[in-house]
Structure 1
């Protein structure tokens, strides 16, 4: 990473996570010790901080320095255990991948899988994603993935959901013209939330061609069973993204009877 003074202060970070115990078991601790120097980006953070250095700048020169080449960049926000990003990086060695995650065990598991495959096109960052995005130059990213973000089910916590107008505005700048933001959720109310944030944003176009019926009012934890009786409307969503593998998390959602919602938005090429 290069460090240069920014003329503008970065946007205020969206806090869409809760810090929790991050103790690594022996297997993950060994993976961290072995692979973190290869895969984990140094963002100039204070120990334990998810906020990058104030003078950090992420530009094309940094991308070239870190990955050793110029190639399309795919960024996953909230990479979890890393199954999707590692599988895709393995399948597409011609692309650069960056996995952003706040939880150390998930990052260690991602390193373990990447290390076993000796991947050279993947890097990780333990960071609050909006904080890093705010320091990126425009047009650096080709695709952003946000798969199964924390649903924050309580009504009073919906404002903490990751997908927010501020993040959409930031991604509209960081994505290349025509770039894609792929979102997936197994929570119906979160799908409605995404439509409310994104469908009216003139900087993005909903690429979905699959009509889906959703309630037009929000429900929360304890009231979700009322959703079926609420007024519904049709929204356009996408077929399942073929580049997303079925993880254990998604499989459990399907087994519980939840519908998977894929949403695809493209930045205007203007």
Structure 2
């Protein structure tokens, strides 16, 4: 696993992924060759590193140089195969989109779809997202999306979950006043984890309008079947986000009988 750190922040960056050997099939290799120069950002990284280069700063001038305009900026953390970010970029050509992903095959597939649609409003970065967010100018982002992050089901690995207080604090700075963080998960214990992190953060407001019941204690891999017997409490969650398409990943979760949890948090409308 990576031990990349945020040199500028003086603390270890959240690392919610495992580095693994990746090989592109012929179709994705061709997409990477054809489209990476158009869509993939250079963040000053050392070869093979997912950490942002020393001294790199992502600010409004950077945005204007990349997209050539001022427009709402939507950032997806963990864009996977790119279905959601590409669909939304097609639907909203007047918005800027940035897809953050660590795995090359997912990025190549996103490039392939973006290139086929000749999208000019989407860019990609192969980066550990918390490291980049720590380098962002305050108020730069309109919305952040985190759909179905790795649940890290083992109890000892819950500390590796992406949604953590440090990331929430960084996003509270990166988001414009009134901006939102949209999160979706099909893992009940991850939903509880999000509530624990985000409902306690005074800089965010839970915009949920649906009352749901969740266990008040955590379970892990091998003990998830005990959740129903644990004490429960009421939490507020959101209606399904209309801007999220149903991907094959989400469809498999629904077919397996898992409940989809949509959570929406708004940063304070004033600084």
TM-score by length of 1: 0.96
Residue correspondence of structure 1 range 25-104 to structure 2 within 5 A: 25-104=25-104
2:175 is aligned to 175
Provide the rounded CA distance (Å) in 2 between the counterparts of 1:8 and 1:108: 30
Provide the rounded CA distance (Å) in 1 between the counterparts of 2:11 and 2:167: 9
Residue correspondence of structure 1 range 3-18 to structure 2 within 5 A: 9=9, 11-18=11-18
TM-score by length of 2: 0.96
1:113 is aligned to 113
Which stretch shows the higher mean deviation, 12-21 or 122-131?
Answer: 12-21
Deviation at 1:9, TM superposition (A): 3.6
Question: Is the 1:10–1:131 Cα contact (8 Å) retained in structure 2?
Answer: no
Question: Is the 1:101–1:128 Cα contact (8 Å) retained in structure 2?
Answer: yes
1:207 is aligned to 207
Q: Does 1:159 align with 2:159?
A: yes
Provide the rounded CA distance (Å) in 1 between the counterparts of 2:143 and 2:56: 22
Two-structure CA RMSD over aligned residues (Å): 1.0
Q: SS where residue 211 of structure 2 aligns? A: strand
Provide the rounded CA distance (Å) in 1 between the counterparts of 2:9 and 2:262: 34
Q: Does 1:237 align with 2:241?
A: no
Question: Is the 1:12–1:131 Cα contact (8 Å) retained in structure 2?
Answer: no
1:3 is aligned to none
Provide the rounded CA distance (Å) in 1 between the counterparts of 2:175 and 2:54: 22
Provide the rounded CA distance (Å) in 2 between the counterparts of 1:148 and 1:86: 17
Relative to structure 1, the CA distance from residue 218 to residue 134 in structure 2 (aligned partners, 3 Å threshold; closer, same or farther) is same
Relative to structure 1, the CA distance from residue 11 to residue 96 in structure 2 (aligned partners, 3 Å threshold; closer, same or farther) is farther
Residues 59-113 of structure 1 show CA distances to partners (whole Å, capped at 9, x for unaligned) of 1011000001100000000000000000000000010000000000000000000
Residues 179-201 of structure 1 show CA distances to partners (whole Å, capped at 9, x for unaligned) of 00000000000000000000011
Provide the rounded CA distance (Å) in 1 between the counterparts of 2:111 and 2:12: 29
Provide the rounded CA distance (Å) in 1 between the counterparts of 2:207 and 2:248: 27
Q: SS where residue 111 of structure 1 aligns? A: helix
Q: Does 1:227 align with 2:231?
A: no
* Matched residue count: 264
Residue correspondence of structure 1 range 121-136 to structure 2 within 5 A: 121-136=121-136
Question: Is the 1:10–1:135 Cα contact (8 Å) retained in structure 2?
Answer: no
Provide the rounded CA distance (Å) in 2 between the counterparts of 1:195 and 1:149: 15
Residue correspondence of structure 1 range 182-197 to structure 2 within 5 A: 182-197=182-197
Q: SS where residue 180 of structure 1 aligns? A: strand
Residues 202-254 of structure 1 show CA distances to partners (whole Å, capped at 9, x for unaligned) of 00000001001000000000000000010101100000000000000000000
Provide the rounded CA distance (Å) in 1 between the counterparts of 2:29 and 2:49: 19
Unaligned 5+ segments in structure 1 are 1-6
Q: SS where residue 139 of structure 1 aligns? A: coil
Unaligned 5+ segments in structure 2 are 1-6
